[in-house]
Amino acid sequence: MTRSSFLFFLIATILLSFSGCEKPNSDSPASKKNEPHDQAVSYQEKETKYEKPSDSRKKFSSVGKNQKKTNVRIKQVNLESLSIQSTYVGYLLPNKRVLMRSEIDGVIEKIDFEEGDEITKGKRLVDISTKEHRLKLKIAITDSNLADINIKRDEKLAAQNLIPNAQLDQTKTRAESASLNKELAEISLNKSLISSPLKGTIKTRHIKVGEFVRKGDKLVEILDIDRIIVKVNIPEQEILSIQVGQNVEVALYIMEKKTFLGRVKNIGLEADSSNRTFPVEILVDNKERQLRAGMLARATFTKNVDQDQIVIPRHTVLERDQGRVVYVFEDGKAFRRDITIGLSQLDQVQVVQGLNKGELIVVEGHTKLTDGEEVNVVN
């Protein structure tokens, strides 16, 4: 190679090297094409740095610390009396029921009542063959008077020894017999005049005028419903707590909102062998006539227990696997307490073990509490 050819080759090589090292223009299409991609990558990197896992945990932890306490209401435990109530189903009966029957044979001459009439004691109701019995009484009275006259006559004659004493004795015997016949006639007449033995209401008339009745036939049925009997059956385990004169609350099934005050009138002396219950009768005033025989009723007996009892609302007691518990409030927290209950009535229960007088129990908001949980009292 000649010297001039070598110099030309060297210069060309240097020029080509400068041309390959030149940076592309930012305004070139290639540069513009890659620019959005680079910006997106950069934005994502910034976003990733903002949402760090450690920041999320700090946020969750902050929410837990600000969580609201459970609102509760509390009540102080005091010594109270507990009223035990027992309710039994019974039915109504009239205070008295009288079915009058004829005591003689005869014809119904007069009836002075209608069914449903209110009558007083002693009111004349029925006449049975009274004319016949009045005549018999009149004859008996005449015979008795005549016998008395004969006695006086024979006594004078006997005193004068005009008749033997035996004749005087016979006269006295006939007079005594006439007097007895008079009494029998009076009784028969009274039996023919039927009067009411009590104040009450006519339930049923069994006769009509002109009908012939025999001794023992039904005449009329009378009820005393100014007072009503509620009859209930009390189990033998409860009968000793029932006393004559004890107040009882009575309510009808058809008038549940209205109650009537009654008193125990009678306690049966013998239990029913089939169910071991004793019949008890409760007397209730019925002057307004709202109570009717045959109605169903509920009789509630109340028995007061010793006053020095710890009594709490029934709803505060929770059933747990380990038994019955309540929540006791102390130092801003609710603590679970095991208790033992005794007698219970309606919305109250007696606590025989587990609570002391003066302690505070949670009465509202307690159903979802945990032992030792901090609470907010809103009483």
CATH code: domain of residue 316: 2.40.420.20
pLDDT band at 256 (very low <50, low <70, confident <90, very high): confident
Distance CA(72)–CA(58), nearest Å, equals: 30
pLDDT band at 306 (very low <50, low <70, confident <90, very high): low
In this structure, is residue 275 part of a structural domain? Answer: yes
Q: Are 188 and 209 in contact (CB under 8 A)?
A: no
pLDDT band at 202 (very low <50, low <70, confident <90, very high): very high
Last residue of a domain, one of 269, 304, 339: 304
Distance CA(375)–CA(63), nearest Å, equals: 18
Helix (H) or strand (E) holding 137: helix 130-159
The model's pTM is 0.57
| pLDDT for res 354 | 94
pLDDT band at 348 (very low <50, low <70, confident <90, very high): confident
Q: What whole-number percentage of the chain has pLDDT above 70?
A: 82
Same domain as 196, residue 125: yes
pLDDT band at 268 (very low <50, low <70, confident <90, very high): very high
Same domain as 197, residue 108: yes
pLDDT band at 80 (very low <50, low <70, confident <90, very high): confident
pLDDT at 56 over 60: no
Kind of pairing between the strands at 373-377 and 70-76: parallel
Q: Which residue has the tokens 């005028």?
A: 209
| pLDDT for res 3 | 53
Please state the rounded mean pLDDT for residues 117-125.
95
Please state the rounded mean pLDDT for residues 173-201.
94
More confident: 103 or 23: 103
In this structure, is residue 27 part of a structural domain? Answer: no
Last residue of a domain, one of 286, 304, 322: 304
Same domain as 155, residue 126: yes
Last residue of a domain, one of 304, 319, 343: 304
Same domain as 192, residue 122: yes
Same domain as 312, residue 294: no
Same domain as 211, residue 108: yes
In this structure, is residue 341 part of a structural domain? Answer: yes
Same domain as 75, residue 119: no
pLDDT at 106 over 80: yes
Same domain as 235, residue 130: no
CA triple 44-48-50, angle to 5 deg: 115
Same domain as 205, residue 127: yes
In this structure, is residue 324 part of a structural domain? Answer: yes
In this structure, is residue 36 part of a structural domain? Answer: no
Specify the number of domains making up the chain: 3
pLDDT at 55 over 50: no
Distance CA(61)–CA(68), nearest Å, equals: 14
How does DSSP assign 105-132, residue by residue?
-EEEEEE---TT-EE-TT-EEEEESHHH
pLDDT at 19 over 60: no
More confident: 173 or 42: 173
Please state the rounded mean pLDDT for residues 281-309.
89
Structure tokens at 145: 């008077």
**Strand-by-strand arrangement of the 340-345 sheet:** 79-80, 309-313, 348-353, 340-345
More confident: 37 or 234: 234
Kind of pairing between the strands at 106-111 and 124-128: antiparallel
Please state the rounded mean pLDDT for residues 140-167.
92
DSSP state of 60: H
Please state the rounded mean pLDDT for residues 326-338.
96
Q: Which residue has the tokens 């009768």?
A: 281
| pLDDT for res 188 | 92
pLDDT band at 38 (very low <50, low <70, confident <90, very high): very low
- CATH number (domain holding residue 247): 2.40.30.170
In this structure, is residue 156 part of a structural domain? Answer: yes
Q: Are 374 and 365 in contact (CB under 8 A)?
A: no
Q: Which residue has the tokens 């109605």?
A: 295
pLDDT band at 68 (very low <50, low <70, confident <90, very high): confident
Amino acid at 82: L
Same domain as 119, residue 204: yes
Same domain as 233, residue 167: no
Q: Give the start-end residues of each E strand in 286-347.
A: 296-304, 309-313, 318-320, 323-330, 333-338, 340-345
pLDDT at 290 over 50: yes
- Ranking 57-61, 208-212, 249-253, 329-333 by mean pLDDT, the lowest is 57-61
Same domain as 108, residue 210: yes
Domain holding 341, by residue range, is 71-82+307-377
In this structure, is residue 244 part of a structural domain? Answer: yes
| pLDDT for res 26 | 43
In this structure, is residue 13 part of a structural domain? Answer: no
- Ranking 22-26, 238-242, 317-321 by mean pLDDT, the lowest is 22-26
